[in-house]
Amino acid sequence: MQYFADLVISGLAIGAIYGLIGMGYACIYKATGVVNFAQGEVMMLITYVTASLLTLTTWPFWMGLVLAPAVGILVGIVVERVVIRPMIGRPSFAIVMVTIGLAVLMRSLIVLFWGSEPREFPGRGSEDVIQILGIGLYPVQVLAFLIFISAAAAAWAFLRYSRLGIAMRATALSEQIAMLMGVDVRRISGLSWAGAAALSGLAGVLFASAAYVGPDLFAVGLKAFPATILGGLDAVTGSAFGGLLIGVTENLVGGYVDSSLKEIAGFVVIIFILMLRPNGLFGDRDVERV
Amino acid sequence: MLQIRNARILYGRAIEAVRDVSLDVARGRVVALLGTNGAGKSTILKAVTGLLASEDGEVVSGSVTFEGQSLLGQRPDAVMRHGIALVPEGRRLFTKLTVRDNLVMGGFIRSRGDFSAGLDSVIALFPALANKLDRTAGFLSGGEQQMVAIGRALLSGPRLLMLDEPSLGLAPLIVEEIFASLRRLRDERGLTILVIEQNARLALSLADDGYILENGRIMLDGTAAELAANPVIRSLYLGMTDGGTRHNLRDAAPMRQRVRWPA
């Protein structure tokens, strides 16, 4: 039982990171109808930049959690401006291909600039295990979970209540009509990329401070993809929840079945879930009046 | 207020949707644009709102101006800030959003204070919406959806309200109600309205001026009363007969020729 609880709790911690990235996928997909396959690479870039900034300034670790979303917003806006905006109006498929190209390019540029040697995240949090309900956890795992909860709640409230959030949902439903309402859909696209990058930047710093900063960090983004498919590609808070589910499933499979299956557990789960619910657990089905 | 001069509109640089259209919407007037399917009515509205570009259409010659300023080449979100609102064909609500969120989008460019005042006046115009604000818009009846669509357009605080086929797909009783509310908007707020309709009788009962569009050209224009009295219009658009002489389609061809170049 103790073993099970350990697996679930640490699964929730890694799931929180998947959830943050998953929200990013959903945020961009919802606003622009594009799956950003460079999400993991964007996260990696932000993590590297944040790590370098912390090293340069010798600021404490927690400043990284402030810097990462800030750097993320900047990276998101730049990528959207340079790569995505010129493609607006083209078929979604073409834009998705561009994000794949962008992913490969960013991976290579990062290795070119920072080298391929993994490094430690500067000033990583304390290694002292804290006990919660008899389960030992690293502080960064607790931190990841708390940040995840607040980000998910903030995203939910933003989309539900703020005028800009409603405009984002409206744009997702019909770009043309949103324009007729006075919404500049280019700004919505930029906003969604900035938001997604800020979320994945947080995820990257949290993950790297528990592990390391290395050129294979992008794989975390790939593993978060099942989370957003599971929760619904167009459901931002649903994707957050999907992240937790995938994280826990992975850990349980790794703990009870075989640790080599851990990597693919998430993908197996989505195959089964999508058979039952093609739009994901929380995805929108079309509203149709009978 | 709105002026279109000799507009020629092509889709995909090849297909001619509008050949030569000139029309005027004067301040405080209600103007009806009539015509059959495919005559180019909706294309004209798209040219005004700027939606034409996203459908690969272009005004290749002529001008479209609003209060003296050219609207050509402006994006839809820029055009609407001049004070032009569109109730699109088929209502086109944000079906998965609530009625309130649809209306919030209508007031997207206004301040919060203006929005709540605007919301009150929309509810006053359409009391049926009062207790449906938190419902999902897509689940409302067609008539209620049309009310939301009109309310959404009004919330941007337009000086020119354009409606594309507001009667489409609605029961006659509901249509009467919608048109009664448009009459109130004209009488009580002096709103300038451009309405596109296939239902000519309905549109001429509301309008001050009318234009008849056929195959991308304005065939006839005049006050609504003049049009309603014109024998060709009566026969072809209003389905009325005069003194026992029935116009059928065979008679129609030469009569249309005659109205094309009015003396």
Kindly give the confidence (pLDDT) of every residue in chain A, 290 residues in length, as a single tens digit, with 9 standing for 90 and above. 788 888 898 899 999 999 999 999 999 998 888 899 999 999 999 999 999 999 999 888 889 999 999 999 999 999 999 998 888 778 888 999 999 999 999 999 999 999 989 988 887 666 777 777 777 788 888 889 999 999 999 999 999 999 999 999 999 888 899 999 999 988 999 999 999 999 999 999 999 988 889 999 999 998 898 888 888 888 888 899 999 999 999 999 998 988 888 888 888 888 888 888 877 777 766 554 44
Residue A159 to residue A157: CA distance in whole angstroms: 6
Average pLDDT value for chain B: 87
- Which amino acid makes up residue B156? S
The answer to whether B21 and B6 have CB atoms below 8 angstroms apart is: yes
Average pLDDT over residues B48-69: 92
Going by C-beta distance under 8 Å and a sequence separation of 6 or more, which residues neighbour residue B202? Answer: B167, B175, B179
Does any domain span residue A272? no
| Chain A CB contacts of B76 below 8 Å | 176, 179-180
Please say if the pLDDT value at position B216 is more than 50: yes
Q: Do B108 and A183 touch (CB under 8 A)?
A: yes
Residue B91 has phi, psi (to 5 degrees) of 70, -45
| Cβ neighbours, 10 Å, residue B27 | 12
Tokens of A212: 């390391």
Contact predicate B202/B229, CB 8 Å: no
Residue A3 lies in a domain: no
Contact check, Cβ <8 Å, B152/A181: yes
| Chain A residues within an 8 Å CB radius of B139 | 287, 289
A13, part of any domain: no
Dist. CA A228–CA A23, nearest whole Å: 7
What is the residue range of A62's domain?
Answer: 20-217
The answer as to whether A280 is a domain residue is: no
Q: Band of the pLDDT at B260, cuts 50, 70, 90?
A: very low
Give the DSSP letter string of B85-117: EEE-TT----TTSBHHHHHHHHTTTS-HHHHHH
| Nearest chain A alpha carbon to B97 | A170
Average pLDDT over residues B15-34: 92
Q: What pLDDT sits at residue A287?
A: 52
Within a domain: A95: yes
What is the tally of structural domains in chain A? 1
Q: Which of residues 77-96 of A touch B (CB under 8 A)?
A: 89
User: Is beta strand B217-223 parallel, antiparallel or unpaired with respect to B57-66?
Assistant: unpaired
Confirm if A224 and A15 have CB atoms less than 8 A apart. Answer: no
User: How is residue A137 annotated by DSSP?
Assistant: E
The CB-side HSE value for B89 (13 A sphere, CA atoms) comes to 13
Please determine, for residue B259, whether its predicted confidence score (pLDDT) is greater than 70.
Answer: no
- Determine, yes or no, domain membership for A9: no
Nearest-Cα residue of chain A relative to residue B112: A163
Q: Is B132 on the interface with A (CB under 8 A)?
A: no
Q: Least CB-CB distance to B94: which of A89, A173, A289?
A: A173
Rg (CA), chain A: 19
Q: Is residue A57 part of a domain?
A: yes
Give domain status of residue A270, yes or no.
no
Residue B96 at interface with chain A, using a CB cutoff of 8 Å: yes
Which residue type does B71 have? L
- β-partners of residue B197 are B34
Residue B215 has pLDDT above 90, yes or no: no
Please name the member of A166, A179, A288 whose beta carbon is closest to the beta carbon of B76.
A179
For residue B138, give the nearest of A181, A185, A289 by CB distance: A289
Chain B residue nearest residue A160, CA to CA:
B101
